[in-house]
Structure 1
């Protein structure tokens, strides 16, 4: 079977006029496809191939660049709602009637919106490093975080500070994950994300974080089973928001990974993949 580091990027044209770049690995027909929604500034190349390959052992896993991101055409919108509408356009273009969702960071916001706007499309949901819309304290990231990952040019040092803890174990795991993510593919790389994408995505993040307790009530509309997960030391989206989210969702379970930050799912990729596969296998 092809691996995530060797699978070629494909393109599908949607009714909204966008040509979406995507990769699909795994071919099991025994389970629903798992659609992955990427983090702030991330493209197809920013997924950990070890995580994708572990998930793809039991199902088809699809990663894609949303509108204006990486090799996909169009202009990145500046609201989560618009990003969710564009993601639904991609799913429709792929001819998928129902999917499981795994949203990471900004992608977890998009996953929540997809589940609210097209509930019949979504079976189960994994929200990694997530926060609910309207929660107090997430109206923009801490200055240290945005300085680390929000500059004109991506910073490897900033990435390591935000995605992995400063402990020896955390830094060792971070170096290993960075080697897999940034060194695993030898050709067919995705296009880098642009400054326009970065600005639009951060606008979407800050809009999502405007304090509004009434917005929290919307979560009652997500009735699918949800797995909420985070690292215990995430500086970008602290785990208290995972607990808040899990407490507000009608059918949720939560797991917090130890000595881990924003990139817990890459640091603990074997454990996280096993947890996801177990969760998705419960019918």
Structure 2
């Protein structure tokens, strides 16, 4: 089911749900500049088949959600996530955040702990900058060379026409998947085509990069989190090297770390059953501990 949620500041957020509303909710928070449909549909359907009410949505400034002037930090995106939970009539949710979406999830758990039953932080970090060429402020390692090379290419020759933008976007997903994962080009080309059709001009997704720069590092703050947390991180992550996931694990009191050999910054759709198992096992364990 698809519907639009109105936030407290009047923005409209596109949402899509899978499963039955009476089941425990899982909120999927996508990474910065990316639309909610990047969450593989097969993952959403698998989680729904496991007895969960699954929600994916477009952040403001992406896809079918409202555009803005971009003058905000990640706490605004966290407030949006809270408004999605409330707007769908949910008491709380298990929150799964990918990349910058994991930082949004951390802020949601800090600002509105009553809405977060557990956290899964996929390929995320407590500290990042909008410009990948600038290293994190807390001394964590910066992006690996493939990301730096891509940033240099785009800076030297920005894609001009729609075809060049399409090709650059597809190539970008290949970099994010990492060097050891098979790249299903037809899948990613179809996804990029769909994202381009859904994006309302002008494209303001880049506002998320400014939001990152306005957000202070979270390392000191997330020590206050008291929520079951699973950190899942690829050992070949070109954006946030594995040390970012280890830092989350060290900083969050009730965290566990699961590293995946060969995984880059994102997981391919054919890994959805693996990611689903990690999420479901964590959520069920969190529910069992809470019921005791």
TM-score w.r.t. length of structure 2 = 0.79
Other-structure match for 1:15:
8
- Tell me how far apart the structure 2 counterparts of residues 274 and 146 of structure 1 sit (CA, whole Å): 34
Greater displacement, 99-108 / 263-272: 263-272
Contact 2:63 2:195 in 1 (8 A): no
Contact 1:216 1:248 in 2 (8 A): yes
- Tell me how far apart the structure 2 counterparts of residues 207 and 188 of structure 1 sit (CA, whole Å): 26
Offset, 1:252: 0.5
Aligned counterparts, 1:78-89, within 5 A: 78-89=72-83
Provide Cα deviations, 1:36-63, integer angstroms capped at 9, x if missing partner. 1111221132221222222221201000
Other-structure match for 1:278:
281
- Tell me how far apart the structure 2 counterparts of residues 24 and 74 of structure 1 sit (CA, whole Å): 22
What SS is found at the alignment partner of 1:243? helix
Offset, 1:93: 1.9
Offset, 1:189: 8.7
- How many residue pairs end up in the alignment? 264
- Out of 191, 209, 212, the position equivalent to 1:205 is 212
TM-score w.r.t. length of structure 1 = 0.81
Q: Aligned-residue CA RMSD in angstroms?
A: 3.0
Unaligned stretches of 5+ residues in structure 1: 1-7
Provide Cα deviations, 1:76-96, integer angstroms capped at 9, x if missing partner. 554111211222222222222
What SS is found at the alignment partner of 2:66? coil
Provide Cα deviations, 1:183-228, integer angstroms capped at 9, x if missing partner. 48999996227665332111223344x6x6xx42211221100000
Contact 1:98 1:123 in 2 (8 A): yes
- Tell me how far apart the structure 2 counterparts of residues 156 and 40 of structure 1 sit (CA, whole Å): 16
- Out of 257, 265, 268, the position equivalent to 1:262 is 265
Other-structure match for 1:71:
64
